[in-house]
Amino acid sequence: MEQSEILNAHADGAALLEAGTWIGRHQAFGLMASQCSAADAECLRQIRDNKHYKALGLTWEEFCSRHAGVDRKTADRIVERLEEFGEAYFNISQVIPIQPAAYRLIAGSVSGNAIELDGRKIPIAPENAQQIIEAVRELRSRLEREQSKARLPFSALQNRLDLCHSELAGAIRRGVGKSEGAILIAVLTDATSRFEEAMIAIAEANL
């Protein structure tokens, strides 16, 4: 056997061993995105990125459905969370359920395998579940209060007006027929009249 063939055989054997090891672990425990450990996610990433699934004669999608027990999109999300958050996300999600959006809010307070609150570091471990829950709740509450203070008055109203303007601009770009144009002009005329009335009422109230 030539050297290149030997190297290829070794590479295929390593890939098969990697995939087989992962399959063996998860036949017993199964895989769920919300309960996946950091080690599971890392192993899944290695199989995907190094294409070890090919040693089994499968595509990535087939490997996910047959051996990971999830679809390809879920497996990709698991890997994406590992790449974005690192191991800490998986460690904390095994203690308490937490979605990526919620984790992003507290990520700045997570370091290594601990979550920090008021200078106190709480190790991320099952026995500290209640402390972690309370810390996450407090950190999110503080952030929400800060965001609330930073919001401009009538920001919701501004957002709705922006949306109306975007829809109007889009309709004009797409083209408006004669009859539709007449209706739109009537609607805008009525809206302008109402806005003018509101402006007058505000001005008079502040005299």
**Per-residue model confidence as pLDDT tens digits over 60-95:** 999 888 888 888 999 999 999 999 999 989 989 888
Residue 153 near residue 162, CB atoms below 8 Å: no
- Residues paired with 55 in a beta bridge: none
pLDDT higher than 50, residue 41: yes
Torsions phi, psi for 122 (to 5 deg) = -105, 115
Could you report the per-residue pLDDT of 10-31, keeping only the tens digit for each?
445 555 666 666 666 554 444 5
30 or 173, which is more confident?
A: 173
The pLDDT value recorded for residue 4 is 38
For residue 28, give the DSSP letter.
H
The Cα 171–Cα 33 span in angstroms is: 41
Q: Which residues of 70-101 are buried (b: 16+ CB within 10 A; e: fewer)?
A: bebeebbebbebbeebebbbbbbbbbbebeee
Calculate the CA 75 to chain-centre distance: 14
- Residues paired with 121 in a beta bridge: 116
Residue 79 near residue 48, CB atoms below 8 Å: yes
The pLDDT value recorded for residue 6 is 32
- Residues paired with 110 in a beta bridge: 115
The Cα 76–Cα 67 span in angstroms is: 14
For residue 64, give the DSSP letter.
I
